[in-house]
Structure 1
Amino acid sequence: MAETQPRLHTWQIDAREYARQERRRGRRHAYERLTGPSTALVVVDMVRFFVAGNPYGLGIVPHVHTLARAVRAAGGTVAWVLPAVTEQATGWAVDFYGPEIAELYRGAGGTGPLRSRLWPDLTPAPDDPVVEKTAASAFFPGRCALRDHLDRRAVDTVLVCGLVTNVCVESTVRDAATLGYRTLLAADACATRDDTLHNASLTTIYRSFGDVRPTSELLALLATS
Protein backbone atom coordinates (compact mmCIF):
# COMPACT_ATOMS: atom_id res chain seq x y z
CA MET A 1 0.00 0.00 0.00
CA ALA A 2 1.39 3.39 -0.98
CA GLU A 3 2.23 5.76 1.85
CA THR A 4 -0.10 8.74 2.20
CA GLN A 5 1.71 11.94 1.28
CA PRO A 6 0.85 15.22 3.05
CA ARG A 7 -0.99 17.81 0.98
CA LEU A 8 -2.46 21.25 1.56
CA HIS A 9 -5.77 22.42 0.22
CA THR A 10 -5.80 24.92 -2.60
CA TRP A 11 -7.97 27.28 -0.63
CA GLN A 12 -9.69 30.41 -1.82
CA ILE A 13 -12.41 32.88 -1.05
CA ASP A 14 -14.02 34.50 -4.05
CA ALA A 15 -13.12 38.13 -4.70
CA ARG A 16 -16.77 39.14 -4.53
CA GLU A 17 -16.92 37.91 -0.92
CA TYR A 18 -13.98 40.10 0.02
CA ALA A 19 -15.63 43.00 -1.80
CA ARG A 20 -18.91 42.43 0.07
CA GLN A 21 -17.21 42.69 3.46
CA GLU A 22 -15.13 45.67 2.39
CA ARG A 23 -18.34 47.52 1.46
CA ARG A 24 -19.97 46.60 4.75
CA ARG A 25 -17.21 47.44 7.22
CA GLY A 26 -14.64 49.35 5.19
CA ARG A 27 -11.94 46.70 5.46
CA ARG A 28 -11.36 43.12 4.38
CA HIS A 29 -10.86 41.62 7.82
CA ALA A 30 -12.90 42.26 10.94
CA TYR A 31 -9.97 41.68 13.30
CA GLU A 32 -6.72 43.42 12.45
CA ARG A 33 -5.06 43.12 15.86
CA LEU A 34 -4.54 40.27 18.31
CA THR A 35 -3.75 40.60 22.00
CA GLY A 36 -1.65 37.58 22.93
CA PRO A 37 -2.80 36.91 26.53
CA SER A 38 -6.49 37.10 25.59
CA THR A 39 -6.10 34.86 22.52
CA ALA A 40 -6.56 31.09 22.40
CA LEU A 41 -5.71 28.62 19.65
CA VAL A 42 -8.44 25.95 19.64
CA VAL A 43 -7.18 22.77 17.96
CA VAL A 44 -10.05 20.48 16.99
CA ASP A 45 -9.89 16.67 16.63
CA MET A 46 -6.24 16.20 15.65
CA VAL A 47 -6.39 12.52 16.58
CA ARG A 48 -5.19 9.44 14.73
CA PHE A 49 -8.65 8.51 13.47
CA PHE A 50 -9.00 11.72 11.46
CA VAL A 51 -5.37 12.47 10.56
CA ALA A 52 -4.13 9.05 9.43
CA GLY A 53 -4.79 8.31 5.79
CA ASN A 54 -6.00 11.84 5.02
CA PRO A 55 -3.31 13.67 3.03
CA TYR A 56 -4.82 17.04 3.89
CA GLY A 57 -4.96 16.15 7.57
CA LEU A 58 -1.30 15.22 7.47
CA GLY A 59 -0.52 18.39 5.55
CA ILE A 60 -1.77 20.75 8.23
CA VAL A 61 0.22 19.23 11.10
CA PRO A 62 3.23 21.58 10.68
CA HIS A 63 0.95 24.63 10.55
CA VAL A 64 -0.90 23.58 13.70
CA HIS A 65 2.43 23.09 15.46
CA THR A 66 3.71 26.49 14.28
CA LEU A 67 0.56 28.29 15.40
CA ALA A 68 0.68 26.61 18.80
CA ARG A 69 4.25 27.77 19.37
CA ALA A 70 3.42 31.32 18.27
CA VAL A 71 0.33 31.62 20.47
CA ARG A 72 2.27 30.41 23.51
CA ALA A 73 5.13 32.82 22.72
CA ALA A 74 2.60 35.67 22.62
CA GLY A 75 1.31 34.70 26.07
CA GLY A 76 -1.87 33.06 24.82
CA THR A 77 -3.57 29.73 25.44
CA VAL A 78 -3.42 26.60 23.30
CA ALA A 79 -6.41 24.31 23.88
CA TRP A 80 -6.68 20.83 22.41
CA VAL A 81 -10.17 19.39 21.87
CA LEU A 82 -10.70 15.68 21.29
CA PRO A 83 -13.78 13.59 20.52
CA ALA A 84 -15.07 11.98 23.70
CA VAL A 85 -15.17 8.20 23.81
CA THR A 86 -18.50 7.15 25.30
CA GLU A 87 -19.60 3.78 26.65
CA GLN A 88 -22.01 3.28 23.79
CA ALA A 89 -23.17 5.05 20.67
CA THR A 90 -26.17 7.31 21.10
CA GLY A 91 -29.53 6.34 19.70
CA TRP A 92 -29.33 9.33 17.38
CA ALA A 93 -25.98 8.14 15.97
CA VAL A 94 -27.26 4.60 15.43
CA ASP A 95 -30.36 5.89 13.63
CA PHE A 96 -28.43 8.37 11.51
CA TYR A 97 -25.23 6.47 10.64
CA GLY A 98 -26.29 2.88 11.18
CA PRO A 99 -24.84 0.73 13.98
CA GLU A 100 -21.49 -0.07 12.34
CA ILE A 101 -20.48 3.51 11.52
CA ALA A 102 -21.94 4.80 14.79
CA GLU A 103 -19.65 2.41 16.66
CA LEU A 104 -16.70 3.50 14.54
CA TYR A 105 -17.28 7.14 15.39
CA ARG A 106 -17.90 6.32 19.05
CA GLY A 107 -14.29 5.20 19.37
CA ALA A 108 -12.78 7.90 17.12
CA GLY A 109 -11.15 9.69 20.05
CA GLY A 110 -8.81 6.78 20.70
CA THR A 111 -7.73 5.13 23.94
CA GLY A 112 -5.41 5.97 26.79
CA PRO A 113 -4.69 9.30 28.49
CA LEU A 114 -6.06 12.31 26.62
CA ARG A 115 -2.67 13.78 25.72
CA SER A 116 -1.52 10.51 24.21
CA ARG A 117 -4.51 10.41 21.85
CA LEU A 118 -3.33 13.36 19.78
CA TRP A 119 -1.46 12.82 16.53
CA PRO A 120 2.09 11.87 17.62
CA ASP A 121 3.75 14.92 16.04
CA LEU A 122 1.66 17.24 18.21
CA THR A 123 2.66 17.52 21.87
CA PRO A 124 0.72 19.77 24.25
CA ALA A 125 2.66 21.94 26.70
CA PRO A 126 2.12 21.05 30.36
CA ASP A 127 -0.32 23.91 30.95
CA ASP A 128 -2.29 23.50 27.70
CA PRO A 129 -5.91 22.53 28.40
CA VAL A 130 -6.82 19.18 26.81
CA VAL A 131 -10.55 18.49 26.84
CA GLU A 132 -13.13 16.16 25.33
CA LYS A 133 -16.33 17.14 23.55
CA THR A 134 -19.50 15.12 23.08
CA ALA A 135 -20.84 17.24 20.22
CA ALA A 136 -19.48 18.46 16.91
CA SER A 137 -18.86 21.90 18.38
CA ALA A 138 -16.34 22.50 21.14
CA PHE A 139 -18.53 25.36 22.37
CA PHE A 140 -21.93 23.65 22.47
CA PRO A 141 -23.34 24.27 25.99
CA GLY A 142 -22.92 21.36 28.36
CA ARG A 143 -20.96 19.23 25.90
CA CYS A 144 -17.38 20.41 26.47
CA ALA A 145 -15.41 22.15 29.24
CA LEU A 146 -13.48 24.36 26.81
CA ARG A 147 -15.37 27.57 27.54
CA ASP A 148 -14.71 27.26 31.29
CA HIS A 149 -10.96 27.00 30.67
CA LEU A 150 -10.98 30.03 28.37
CA ASP A 151 -13.14 32.13 30.69
CA ARG A 152 -10.74 31.51 33.57
CA ARG A 153 -7.94 32.88 31.37
CA ALA A 154 -9.97 35.91 30.22
CA VAL A 155 -9.85 34.81 26.57
CA ASP A 156 -11.95 36.87 24.17
CA THR A 157 -10.40 35.79 20.85
CA VAL A 158 -10.18 32.29 19.40
CA LEU A 159 -8.15 31.05 16.45
CA VAL A 160 -9.63 27.75 15.28
CA CYS A 161 -7.84 24.99 13.36
CA GLY A 162 -7.95 21.21 12.99
CA LEU A 163 -10.28 18.60 11.51
CA VAL A 164 -12.56 18.44 9.70
CA THR A 165 -13.26 21.84 8.20
CA ASN A 166 -16.89 21.33 7.22
CA VAL A 167 -18.04 19.47 10.35
CA CYS A 168 -16.45 19.96 13.78
CA VAL A 169 -14.29 22.94 12.83
CA GLU A 170 -17.15 24.88 11.24
CA SER A 171 -19.49 23.92 14.10
CA THR A 172 -16.95 25.20 16.63
CA VAL A 173 -16.49 28.48 14.75
CA ARG A 174 -20.24 29.06 14.51
CA ASP A 175 -20.79 28.55 18.23
CA ALA A 176 -17.72 30.60 19.18
CA ALA A 177 -19.17 33.53 17.21
CA THR A 178 -22.59 32.99 18.79
CA LEU A 179 -20.99 33.22 22.24
CA GLY A 180 -19.37 36.52 21.30
CA TYR A 181 -15.74 35.50 20.83
CA ARG A 182 -13.66 37.34 18.24
CA THR A 183 -13.28 34.36 15.95
CA LEU A 184 -10.69 33.60 13.29
CA LEU A 185 -10.18 30.45 11.23
CA ALA A 186 -6.74 29.35 10.05
CA ALA A 187 -7.49 28.53 6.41
CA ASP A 188 -4.41 26.38 5.84
CA ALA A 189 -4.37 24.77 9.29
CA CYS A 190 -7.71 23.00 8.92
CA ALA A 191 -8.64 20.31 6.44
CA THR A 192 -11.26 17.95 5.11
CA ARG A 193 -11.40 15.49 2.21
CA ASP A 194 -11.35 17.80 -0.81
CA ASP A 195 -11.00 21.44 -1.83
CA THR A 196 -14.67 21.88 -2.70
CA LEU A 197 -15.90 21.06 0.79
CA HIS A 198 -13.07 23.01 2.38
CA ASN A 199 -13.68 26.19 0.40
CA ALA A 200 -17.44 26.06 0.87
CA SER A 201 -16.89 26.16 4.64
CA LEU A 202 -14.32 28.94 4.41
CA THR A 203 -16.79 31.03 2.43
CA THR A 204 -19.63 30.44 4.88
CA ILE A 205 -17.44 31.29 7.85
CA TYR A 206 -15.98 34.42 6.25
CA ARG A 207 -19.43 35.70 5.26
CA SER A 208 -21.18 35.10 8.56
CA PHE A 209 -19.08 33.99 11.52
CA GLY A 210 -15.40 34.99 11.56
CA ASP A 211 -12.29 36.01 9.76
CA VAL A 212 -10.47 33.55 7.55
CA ARG A 213 -6.70 33.98 7.25
CA PRO A 214 -3.69 31.83 6.38
CA THR A 215 -1.15 30.84 9.01
CA SER A 216 1.38 33.39 7.75
CA GLU A 217 -1.01 36.29 8.43
CA LEU A 218 -1.96 34.98 11.85
CA LEU A 219 1.71 34.68 12.76
CA ALA A 220 2.27 38.29 11.71
CA LEU A 221 -0.63 39.45 13.89
CA LEU A 222 0.69 37.46 16.85
CA ALA A 223 4.19 38.86 16.39
CA THR A 224 2.89 42.39 16.88
CA SER A 225 0.48 41.59 19.72
Structure 2
Amino acid sequence: MHPFTLPESIQARVAARCGTPHPFARLNPKSTALVVVDLQNGFMREDVAHAWCPMAEHVVPAVNRLAGALRRAGGGVFWIQNTFDARCEAEWSVMQDMATPAARARRAAAMSEGTVGNALWPALDVQPVDEVVRKYRYSAFIQGSSELPARLRARGFDTVLITGTVTGVCCESSARDAMMLNFRTVMVPDGCAAMTDEEHAASLIAFYLQFGDVLAVDECIAGFAATDTKEAA
Protein backbone atom coordinates (compact mmCIF):
# COMPACT_ATOMS: atom_id res chain seq x y z
CA MET A 1 0.00 0.00 0.00
CA HIS A 2 1.03 3.60 -0.44
CA PRO A 3 2.69 5.16 2.62
CA PHE A 4 0.56 8.12 3.62
CA THR A 5 0.24 10.44 6.60
CA LEU A 6 -1.79 13.63 6.65
CA PRO A 7 0.63 16.52 7.21
CA GLU A 8 0.09 18.29 10.54
CA SER A 9 -0.17 21.66 8.83
CA ILE A 10 -2.98 20.36 6.62
CA GLN A 11 -4.80 18.86 9.60
CA ALA A 12 -4.53 22.22 11.39
CA ARG A 13 -6.20 24.00 8.46
CA VAL A 14 -9.08 21.51 8.48
CA ALA A 15 -9.41 21.76 12.27
CA ALA A 16 -9.61 25.55 12.03
CA ARG A 17 -12.49 25.26 9.57
CA CYS A 18 -14.36 22.26 11.04
CA GLY A 19 -13.49 22.48 14.72
CA THR A 20 -11.79 19.08 14.51
CA PRO A 21 -9.23 17.51 12.17
CA HIS A 22 -11.58 14.57 11.54
CA PRO A 23 -15.20 15.67 11.14
CA PHE A 24 -16.38 12.13 10.38
CA ALA A 25 -14.30 10.20 12.92
CA ARG A 26 -17.52 8.81 14.41
CA LEU A 27 -19.36 6.71 11.83
CA ASN A 28 -22.82 5.25 12.23
CA PRO A 29 -22.33 1.90 10.47
CA LYS A 30 -26.04 1.42 9.83
CA SER A 31 -26.11 4.52 7.65
CA THR A 32 -22.67 3.95 6.10
CA ALA A 33 -21.82 2.31 2.77
CA LEU A 34 -18.46 1.18 1.48
CA VAL A 35 -18.08 2.13 -2.19
CA VAL A 36 -15.37 0.13 -3.95
CA VAL A 37 -14.45 1.83 -7.21
CA ASP A 38 -13.12 -0.02 -10.27
CA LEU A 39 -11.20 -2.90 -8.69
CA GLN A 40 -11.52 -4.80 -11.95
CA ASN A 41 -9.28 -6.87 -14.18
CA GLY A 42 -9.16 -3.99 -16.66
CA PHE A 43 -7.12 -1.98 -14.15
CA MET A 44 -5.43 -4.79 -12.25
CA ARG A 45 -4.53 -7.66 -14.61
CA GLU A 46 -1.66 -6.58 -16.80
CA ASP A 47 -2.50 -8.86 -19.73
CA VAL A 48 -6.02 -7.42 -20.21
CA ALA A 49 -5.73 -3.97 -18.64
CA HIS A 50 -6.16 -0.79 -20.61
CA ALA A 51 -4.86 1.28 -17.67
CA TRP A 52 -2.88 -1.04 -15.40
CA CYS A 53 -2.36 0.16 -11.83
CA PRO A 54 0.13 -2.23 -10.17
CA MET A 55 -0.64 -0.96 -6.66
CA ALA A 56 -4.35 -1.81 -6.91
CA GLU A 57 -3.86 -5.50 -6.15
CA HIS A 58 -2.16 -4.60 -2.87
CA VAL A 59 -5.13 -2.71 -1.39
CA VAL A 60 -7.52 -5.66 -1.81
CA PRO A 61 -6.90 -7.19 1.66
CA ALA A 62 -7.61 -3.84 3.32
CA VAL A 63 -10.77 -3.34 1.26
CA ASN A 64 -11.99 -6.84 2.11
CA ARG A 65 -11.30 -6.26 5.81
CA LEU A 66 -13.24 -3.00 5.82
CA ALA A 67 -16.11 -4.61 3.88
CA GLY A 68 -16.36 -7.43 6.41
CA ALA A 69 -16.27 -5.08 9.39
CA LEU A 70 -18.95 -2.83 7.93
CA ARG A 71 -21.25 -5.73 7.03
CA ARG A 72 -20.99 -7.11 10.56
CA ALA A 73 -21.82 -3.66 11.95
CA GLY A 74 -24.95 -3.33 9.80
CA GLY A 75 -23.73 -1.25 6.86
CA GLY A 76 -23.68 -1.90 3.12
CA VAL A 77 -21.06 -2.68 0.48
CA PHE A 78 -21.28 -1.51 -3.14
CA TRP A 79 -18.87 -2.77 -5.82
CA ILE A 80 -18.58 -0.37 -8.78
CA GLN A 81 -17.86 -1.65 -12.29
CA ASN A 82 -16.44 0.87 -14.73
CA THR A 83 -18.16 -0.04 -18.00
CA PHE A 84 -17.79 1.08 -21.62
CA ASP A 85 -20.69 1.15 -24.07
CA ALA A 86 -21.88 3.12 -27.09
CA ARG A 87 -23.08 5.97 -24.86
CA CYS A 88 -19.48 6.65 -23.88
CA GLU A 89 -18.66 7.41 -27.53
CA ALA A 90 -21.68 9.64 -28.11
CA GLU A 91 -22.35 11.27 -24.74
CA TRP A 92 -18.78 11.57 -23.43
CA SER A 93 -17.03 12.56 -26.63
CA VAL A 94 -14.63 14.93 -24.84
CA MET A 95 -12.99 12.01 -23.08
CA GLN A 96 -12.76 10.14 -26.38
CA ASP A 97 -11.18 13.17 -28.05
CA MET A 98 -8.48 13.21 -25.37
CA ALA A 99 -7.30 9.68 -26.24
CA THR A 100 -5.60 8.23 -29.28
CA PRO A 101 -7.57 5.78 -31.45
CA ALA A 102 -5.42 2.97 -30.05
CA ALA A 103 -6.15 4.01 -26.46
CA ARG A 104 -9.88 4.22 -27.18
CA ALA A 105 -9.81 0.75 -28.70
CA ARG A 106 -7.99 -0.66 -25.68
CA ARG A 107 -10.53 0.83 -23.30
CA ALA A 108 -13.46 -0.53 -25.29
CA ALA A 109 -11.89 -3.99 -25.43
CA ALA A 110 -11.07 -4.03 -21.71
CA MET A 111 -14.18 -2.44 -20.20
CA SER A 112 -17.16 -3.50 -22.32
CA GLU A 113 -19.79 -5.52 -20.47
CA GLY A 114 -19.06 -9.24 -20.51
CA THR A 115 -15.32 -8.93 -21.13
CA VAL A 116 -12.65 -10.32 -18.84
CA GLY A 117 -11.41 -6.80 -18.18
CA ASN A 118 -14.82 -5.60 -17.05
CA ALA A 119 -15.09 -8.33 -14.39
CA LEU A 120 -14.38 -7.59 -10.74
CA TRP A 121 -11.00 -8.74 -9.41
CA PRO A 122 -11.50 -12.35 -8.27
CA ALA A 123 -9.90 -11.91 -4.84
CA LEU A 124 -12.54 -9.38 -3.76
CA ASP A 125 -14.84 -10.64 -1.01
CA VAL A 126 -18.12 -9.98 -2.81
CA GLN A 127 -21.06 -11.37 -0.81
CA PRO A 128 -24.69 -12.00 -1.86
CA VAL A 129 -25.89 -9.16 0.39
CA ASP A 130 -23.69 -6.66 -1.46
CA GLU A 131 -24.69 -4.66 -4.52
CA VAL A 132 -22.82 -4.40 -7.83
CA VAL A 133 -23.36 -1.15 -9.73
CA ARG A 134 -22.17 -0.27 -13.23
CA LYS A 135 -20.90 3.22 -13.96
CA TYR A 136 -20.21 4.93 -17.26
CA ARG A 137 -18.14 7.97 -16.21
CA TYR A 138 -15.14 8.42 -13.92
CA SER A 139 -17.42 9.50 -11.07
CA ALA A 140 -20.00 7.05 -9.78
CA PHE A 141 -22.12 9.94 -8.47
CA ILE A 142 -22.37 12.38 -11.36
CA GLN A 143 -25.74 12.55 -13.13
CA GLY A 144 -26.07 9.92 -15.84
CA SER A 145 -23.16 7.81 -14.64
CA SER A 146 -24.83 5.18 -12.45
CA GLU A 147 -27.72 4.24 -10.18
CA LEU A 148 -25.51 4.47 -7.11
CA PRO A 149 -26.90 7.65 -5.45
CA ALA A 150 -30.48 6.40 -5.77
CA ARG A 151 -29.57 2.95 -4.45
CA LEU A 152 -27.75 4.42 -1.47
CA ARG A 153 -30.63 6.69 -0.54
CA ALA A 154 -33.17 3.89 -0.98
CA ARG A 155 -31.37 1.98 1.76
CA GLY A 156 -30.93 4.96 4.07
CA PHE A 157 -27.19 5.47 3.62
CA ASP A 158 -25.99 9.06 4.12
CA THR A 159 -22.26 8.31 4.57
CA VAL A 160 -19.86 6.75 2.06
CA LEU A 161 -16.36 5.34 2.42
CA ILE A 162 -14.50 5.54 -0.90
CA THR A 163 -11.93 2.90 -1.84
CA GLY A 164 -10.59 1.51 -5.12
CA THR A 165 -8.53 2.77 -8.04
CA VAL A 166 -7.23 5.14 -9.28
CA THR A 167 -7.08 7.45 -6.25
CA GLY A 168 -6.91 10.73 -8.15
CA VAL A 169 -9.32 9.87 -10.96
CA CYS A 170 -12.38 7.67 -10.37
CA CYS A 171 -12.03 7.57 -6.58
CA GLU A 172 -11.53 11.30 -6.04
CA SER A 173 -14.11 12.36 -8.63
CA SER A 174 -16.65 10.00 -7.01
CA ALA A 175 -15.79 11.30 -3.56
CA ARG A 176 -16.11 14.98 -4.52
CA ASP A 177 -19.42 14.43 -6.27
CA ALA A 178 -20.74 12.39 -3.34
CA MET A 179 -20.09 15.34 -1.03
CA MET A 180 -21.79 17.69 -3.51
CA LEU A 181 -24.85 15.42 -3.36
CA ASN A 182 -24.89 15.76 0.44
CA PHE A 183 -23.29 12.46 1.42
CA ARG A 184 -20.85 12.51 4.32
CA THR A 185 -17.77 11.34 2.44
CA VAL A 186 -14.56 9.66 3.56
CA MET A 187 -11.62 8.60 1.39
CA VAL A 188 -9.74 5.59 2.78
CA PRO A 189 -6.01 5.95 2.01
CA ASP A 190 -5.00 2.33 2.55
CA GLY A 191 -7.99 1.23 0.47
CA CYS A 192 -7.12 3.37 -2.58
CA ALA A 193 -4.41 2.85 -5.19
CA ALA A 194 -2.66 5.23 -7.59
CA MET A 195 0.24 5.01 -10.02
CA THR A 196 2.65 6.76 -7.64
CA ASP A 197 2.84 7.69 -3.97
CA GLU A 198 2.97 11.36 -4.94
CA GLU A 199 -0.25 11.24 -6.97
CA HIS A 200 -1.98 9.32 -4.18
CA ALA A 201 -1.00 11.87 -1.55
CA ALA A 202 -1.85 14.90 -3.70
CA SER A 203 -5.35 13.56 -4.36
CA LEU A 204 -6.11 12.75 -0.73
CA ILE A 205 -4.85 16.10 0.54
CA ALA A 206 -6.81 18.07 -2.06
CA PHE A 207 -9.99 16.19 -1.14
CA TYR A 208 -9.43 16.43 2.62
CA LEU A 209 -8.89 20.18 2.60
CA GLN A 210 -12.43 20.96 1.48
CA PHE A 211 -14.63 17.99 0.61
CA GLY A 212 -14.61 15.42 3.42
CA ASP A 213 -12.48 13.29 5.68
CA VAL A 214 -9.56 10.91 5.19
CA LEU A 215 -9.58 7.91 7.52
CA ALA A 216 -7.57 4.70 7.28
CA VAL A 217 -9.28 1.30 7.56
CA ASP A 218 -8.49 0.96 11.27
CA GLU A 219 -9.82 4.48 11.93
CA CYS A 220 -13.06 3.67 10.10
CA ILE A 221 -13.54 0.49 12.13
CA ALA A 222 -12.82 2.43 15.32
CA GLY A 223 -15.45 4.94 14.18
CA PHE A 224 -18.06 2.17 13.98
CA ALA A 225 -17.19 1.07 17.51
CA ALA A 226 -17.31 4.63 18.83
CA THR A 227 -20.86 5.01 17.57
CA ASP A 228 -21.89 1.67 19.11
CA THR A 229 -20.40 2.72 22.45
CA LYS A 230 -22.23 6.07 22.39
CA GLU A 231 -25.57 4.36 21.56
CA ALA A 232 -25.09 1.82 24.35
CA ALA A 233 -24.45 4.60 26.85
1:89-168 mapped onto 2 (5 Å cutoff): 90=89, 91-109=93-111, 111-112=113-114, 117-168=119-170
Deviates more, 1:79-88 or 1:183-192: 79-88
Identity rate, percent? 38
Alignment of 1:1-16 (within 5 A): 8-16=1-9
Match of 1:78 in 2: 77
Q: Distance in 1 between matches of 2:111 and 2:129?
A: 21
Q: Counterparts of 1:133 and 1:25 in 2: how far apart (Å)?
A: 32
Would you identify which runs of 4 or more consecutive aligned residues in structure 1 move more than 4 Å? none
* Partner amino acid, structure 2, of 1:37: K
Query: In the TM superposition, what whole-angstrom CA distance separates every residue of 1:172-200 from its partner, at most 9, and x where no partner exists?
Result: 00000000101001011001100110000
**C-alpha distance in structure 1 between counterparts of 2:86 and 2:180, whole Å:** 30
Instruction: Report the Cα distance in structure 1 between the residues aligned to 2:23 and 2:206, rounded to whole angstroms.
Output: 15
The letter for the 2-side match of 1:109 is M
The structure 1 residue matched to 2:33, chosen from 40, 49, 59, is 40
Structure 2 residues without counterparts, runs of 5 or longer: 47-52, 228-233
Give the count of matched residue pairs. Answer: 217
1:20-79: CA deviation from partner (whole Å, max 9, x where unpaired):
112222211011211111100000000012123443111101001001101111111100
Aligned partners of 1:41 and 1:78 also within 8 Å: yes
Gap change, CA 1:199 and 1:111, over 3 Å in 2: same
Q: Is the 8 A contact 1:89 1:102 kept in 2?
A: no
For 1:212 and 1:100, locate their aligned partners in 2 and report how far apart those are by CA, in whole Å. Answer: 36
- The letter of the residue matching 1:67 is L
* Matched residue SS, 1:125: coil
Superposition TM-score, scaled by structure 1 size: 0.90
**Structure 1 residues 106 and 89, CA, compared in 2 at 3 Å: closer, same or farther?**
farther
Give the secondary-structure state (helix, strand or coil) at the position aligned to 2:106: helix
Q: Report the Cα distance in structure 2 between the residues aligned to 1:176 and 1:65, rounded to whole angstroms.
A: 22
Partner of 2:20: 27
Q: Which amino acid aligns with 1:25?
A: C
**Distance in 2, Cα, partners of 1:70 & 1:138:** 23
1:124 positional shift: 1.6
Three-state SS of the structure 2 residue aligned to 1:29 is coil
Question: What's the C-alpha RMSD, in Å, of the aligned pairs?
Answer: 1.9
In 1, Cα distance between equivalents of 2:186 and 2:113:
31
Which residue is 2:230 aligned to? none
Contact 2:137 2:145 (C-alpha < 8 Å) held by counterparts: yes
Q: Which amino acid aligns with 2:188?
A: A
TM-score by length of 2: 0.87
Tell me how far apart the structure 1 counterparts of residues 203 and 87 of structure 2 sit (CA, whole Å): 30
Stretches of structure 1 lacking an aligned partner (at least 5 in a row): 1-7
Report the residue type matching 1:124 in the other structure.
V
Give, in whole Å, the separation in 2 of the partners of 1:80 and 1:39: 14
SS at match of 1:19: helix
